[in-house]
Amino acid sequence: YAICQPKDYINIRSSPSRKGQAEGYLQCGYSIYVSYKTKNGFVYSPATNTEMGEGWIFKGYLIDEEPIDMGGQQYVVCSNGRVAARKSIGGKRRCWLYNGDTVKVWYMTNEWCVTDRGFVMTRYLEEDPI
């Protein structure tokens, strides 16, 4: 499944590179078949809904389970230390979050959440009691 920020999309590229021509796109929650073939952080899909019929997708925006639309529900960071908000799943850190910080959750899976601060591991978030 594709997972990204609301009103955003994931490019399907002709080659495994950010410079590869965008041949199509995936919106959040869209299911896509991918192979085990990877290169440069991209994963190959032999069956896409593009003119080429195949393409490469950055694996930092793909997840094994269907994301749940949380609609921007507020959650609280619960951690004994700082928590990284990332640009993508397992990607570079955007910022640090600390115990008690609040975030808006747009999409949630068992492992990762898309928040207004970036991708955050679900285990560090709890529903805001307010």
Q: Could you write out the DSSP letters of every residue in 17-81?
A: STTSPEEEEEETT------S-EETTEEEES--SSSSS-EEEEGGGB-SSPPEEEEEEEEEE--SS
Could you read off the pLDDT of 79-125 as tens digits, one per residue? 999 999 999 999 999 999 999 999 999 999 999 999 999 999 999 99
Distance between CA atoms of residues 65 and 83, nearest Å: 23
Residue 48 pLDDT class (50, 70, 90 cuts): confident
Closest CA to 120 of 129, 64, 101: 101
Question: Predicted confidence band at 56 (pLDDT cuts at 50, 70, 90)?
Answer: very high
Q: What is the reported pTM?
A: 0.90
DSSP 8-state assignment for residue 74? E
